[in-house]
Structure 1
């Protein structure tokens, strides 16, 4: 058994998630994200470390993407359409549906100073044609030796943890996951597995956070106090996932408190995403 890891992003930082794992002769790229804190080439993983010749099809067995956030998928169109990777890409059905919305929204709002490094709308469309969607707990035989399976991760709609097995070696890569259910997603679930390697997201590993209910009470109290005083509340938040959760939370509170103050959310990406959320629940 031989396992080797090449961390191209998200090692001791938040952003640019990309880990290449060699396991019993197979080479898997888990996530292909961008770092939103940079405006130069550092926003993308250093793909030359995978193959100095640029022959990524022979250098990789497949690419697996855990969810649609840009720090996990933002570099994928660049990797496929600019760098030239044409091999299989796996993600869940909701991730495949929502990823183009995220990528196109980013592309339209990008900093024009990095236009020469950027992908186009056509790149996004062509990239998504290469994606093979999978169901949760569906066992997929990538090739003769590699078997993968997706597990529910919570976090955002479509997010998954991925199990991979080659011969007698097995591993799990989590990406982001959530063990506390919220108002529209459940807690992560995975089978009891015998693993040789676990690569896990650990952003809050050393942080003790208040309970979800405590945070919700504090948030609703602040909103109510502002509205009661005649003020307006502006909430900058992620358009996919968090916006939907806050809408559910506020709508429930408004109904319980018999409040008639209107709630608005920005159009564009959020309203497009809401169509998928309504179909999923």
Structure 2
């Protein structure tokens, strides 16, 4: 069993969540967020650390997005349409896939149209990016390829938020993203099966 972790964002900082885990030879990017407090290159994860050649399609097995907040999904159109990643992207069905483009377009309008900042990605980029997304239901087990299996669990943070389980061979892990264990009037507490994990990454 071999597990390696590359933290591209949200390590000792709030925002820009992006963690690449290599598990028995499979590389998974968990979240692809932006840092809302930065206006230069520090806004996005340093994707060059994944592949110096820029060949992200061979460098990654898949990308997984836990929920629609910009610190978790905000860099995704840039990564797909500007950097060129075209591999599989997974997120939950109607809440995350439906709300992510709305959040991204609202952000683009505020930063470009109102503040006059340089455009990092266009409305068309957002549309094309979302066409690459494979939507999942909670607790749906998906075989990404012959070796990699993933499954989302209810995270309770916002509507559609999911913790993701991944398994490759004898190695199992969970990446929680943001989660909430306190139910309120709108959302219940996070729920997950009892699992025997080799790695847990949590916020």
Q: TM-score range by the shorter chain?
A: over 0.9
Q: For each residue in 1:68-116, what CA deviation from the matched residue of structure 2 results, as whole angstroms up to 9, or x when unmatched?
A: 0000000000000000000000000110000000000000001556415
Secondary structure of residue in 2 paired with 1:122? helix
Secondary structure of residue in 2 paired with 1:86? coil
Aligned to 2:192: 190
Structure-to-structure mapping, 1:35-184, within 5 angstroms: 35-93=35-93, 94-110=95-111, 112=115, 114-116=117-119, 118-184=120-186
- CA deviation after TM superposition for structure 1 residue 122, in Å: 0.2
Q: For each residue in 1:215-266, what CA deviation from the matched residue of structure 2 results, as whole angstroms up to 9, or x when unmatched?
A: xxxxxxxxxxxxxxxxxxxxxxxxxxxxxxxxxxxxxxxxxxxxxxxxxxxx
- CA deviation after TM superposition for structure 1 residue 182, in Å: 1.1
Structure 1 unmatched ranges of 5 or more: 202-281
- CA deviation after TM superposition for structure 1 residue 149, in Å: 0.2
**1:56 and 1:63, CA in 2 relative to 1: closer, same or farther beyond 3 A?**
same
Is residue 54–residue 83 contact of structure 1 (8 Å, CA) maintained in 2? yes
Aligned to 1:270: none
Whichever structure has more strand as a proportion of its residues is 2
Aligned to 1:7: 7
Whichever structure has more helix as a proportion of its residues is 1
Matched residues in 1 for 2:84 and 2:35: separation?
20
TM-score by length of 2: 0.97
Matched residues in 1 for 2:166 and 2:101: separation?
26
Is residue 40–residue 114 contact of structure 1 (8 Å, CA) maintained in 2? no
Structure 2 unmatched ranges of 5 or more: none
Which structure's relative contact order is higher, taking Cα pairs within 8 Å and 6+ residues apart?
2
TM-score by length of 1: 0.70
Matched residues in 1 for 2:117 and 2:173: separation?
36
Runs of at least 4 residues of structure 1 off by over 3 A? 111-114
Matched residues in 2 for 1:114 and 1:17: separation?
22
- CA deviation after TM superposition for structure 1 residue 151, in Å: 0.2
Matched residues in 1 for 2:6 and 2:109: separation?
32
Matched residues in 2 for 1:114 and 1:46: separation?
20
Secondary structure of residue in 2 paired with 1:110? helix
